[in-house]
Amino acid sequence: MRTDIFARLDREPEPPKIEAPRMSRHRIALFGGTLAFYVAIVWAVLITSWLVALDWKVMLFRPYQQWPELHAFLDYYVVLGQRGPTAVMVACWLGWRSWRQHTLRPLLVLGTSLLLLNVTVGAVKLGLGRLGPHYATQIGSAEMFAGGDIFPSGHTANAVVTWGILAYLATTPRARRYLSAVSATVSLGVGLTTVYIGTHWLSDVLLGWAAGLLILLALPWFEPLIARAEMWIFAMRERGRERWRERRGGARPASAPGRGPQPVLLPQSMATDGPAAEAVATAAPGPVLPAGHAGTALRARAHTGHPARPGGMPVAPAGVRRPPPHNDRGPRAGSPARPMTGG
């Protein structure tokens, strides 16, 4: 039983399986209804239906001339739908959230939504090529396939996606409701402002709302891809840290040039046996000296031992003065004092 427990602990954990979240029926129904509305708007403009006539009536009404006092304020308000300023503001907020929560999901969700927005809205803009109200050539015409790029409204779609991301990433139902109301109000105001200024048809704004809402509703299908991207980024960061630690740990201080291990000079009694002999035997070899050099004799004496005197007194190494043996009784009578050995 204990062996099985340790076997389970030693087993490497399997990577978590990332599955696509299941869309609720309500969300699927909302996505299908928005897609049908999107197709209906495009079809109504292509066949020059009553929607195109309404576009012309609103344009000829010239709202910017009816309420000129709003023009100064709305010129600044429409910036809330521009891609650059709104992306920077929302990215700063989501970046702070990512740092606090130690996750990259908020920033990756924003990047994925903006990428989807550029691909889908940009492709339809260039494919249909509708001209704006200020560049229209024929009254009552849909102005399609004329080289324009305003259908659907990019300002409106960007406002829906950028501010709607805050509601999508909300962590509580109450915050999600409040942020959904704020994003809907901002995107609705941005769309109507473009109609007031005269840069977009009313149908452009309707299609922009539908395009942005479709992206928000489709984001759960991209959550597995976002999770894999986050895991890959964190794995690359850990690999970089490991390589940095290896480089720092593998660095060794370089030895001074021309200086190798110096020979160890020991007396014969210490160099012939015991741990000191093993240390001398295993010491790294010193630099090679030419024949006849004074250091060669010192090295030979250090490794082979010193000749002993007949009386058993070891010979001290060169340059070391050994004091005579101490005797509490003093020297014997009639015996001369033993001289000190020199080098």
Instruction: Indicate whether 24 pLDDT > 50.
Output: yes
- pLDDT score recorded for residue 267: 46
Higher pLDDT, 150 or 22: 150
Higher pLDDT, 81 or 281: 81
Higher pLDDT, 25 or 178: 178
Sequence-ordered list of residues with C-beta below 8 angstroms from that of 110, at least 6 positions apart, any chain: 87, 90, 91, 94, 162, 165
| Confidence tier at 299 by pLDDT (50, 70, 90) | very low
Instruction: Indicate whether 343 pLDDT > 70.
Output: no
For the segment 32-42, the average pLDDT, to the nearest whole number, is: 96
Instruction: Indicate whether 81 pLDDT > 50.
Output: yes
- pLDDT score recorded for residue 246: 84
Look at residues 121, 171, 175, 115 and name the one whose alpha carbon lies nearest to residue 150.
121
- pLDDT score recorded for residue 52: 95
Look at residues 155, 27, 135, 145 and name the one whose alpha carbon lies nearest to residue 85.
155
> What tens digit of pLDDT does each residue of 217-246 get?
999 999 999 999 999 999 998 888 888 888
> What tens digit of pLDDT does each residue of 91-110 get?
999 999 999 988 999 999 99
Q: Look at 202-206, 257-261, 295-299 and tell me which has the smallest mean pLDDT.
A: 295-299
Residue 21, judged by CB atoms within 10 A of its CB (0-12, 13-18, 19+), counts as exposed
DSSP state, residue 333: T
Q: Look at 41-50, 190-199, 288-297 and tell me which has the smallest mean pLDDT.
A: 288-297
- pLDDT score recorded for residue 84: 87
- pLDDT score recorded for residue 124: 95
Q: What is the pTM of this model?
A: 0.65
> What tens digit of pLDDT does each residue of 117-163 get?
999 999 999 999 999 998 988 889 999 999 999 999 999 999 999 99
Structure tokens that stand for 61 in this block: 């009404």
For the segment 314-339, the average pLDDT, to the nearest whole number, is: 50
Residue 300, judged by CB atoms within 10 A of its CB (0-12, 13-18, 19+), counts as exposed
Show the CA angle centred on residue 168, arms to residues 119 and 101, nearest 5°: 110
Instruction: Indicate whether 20 pLDDT > 60.
Output: no
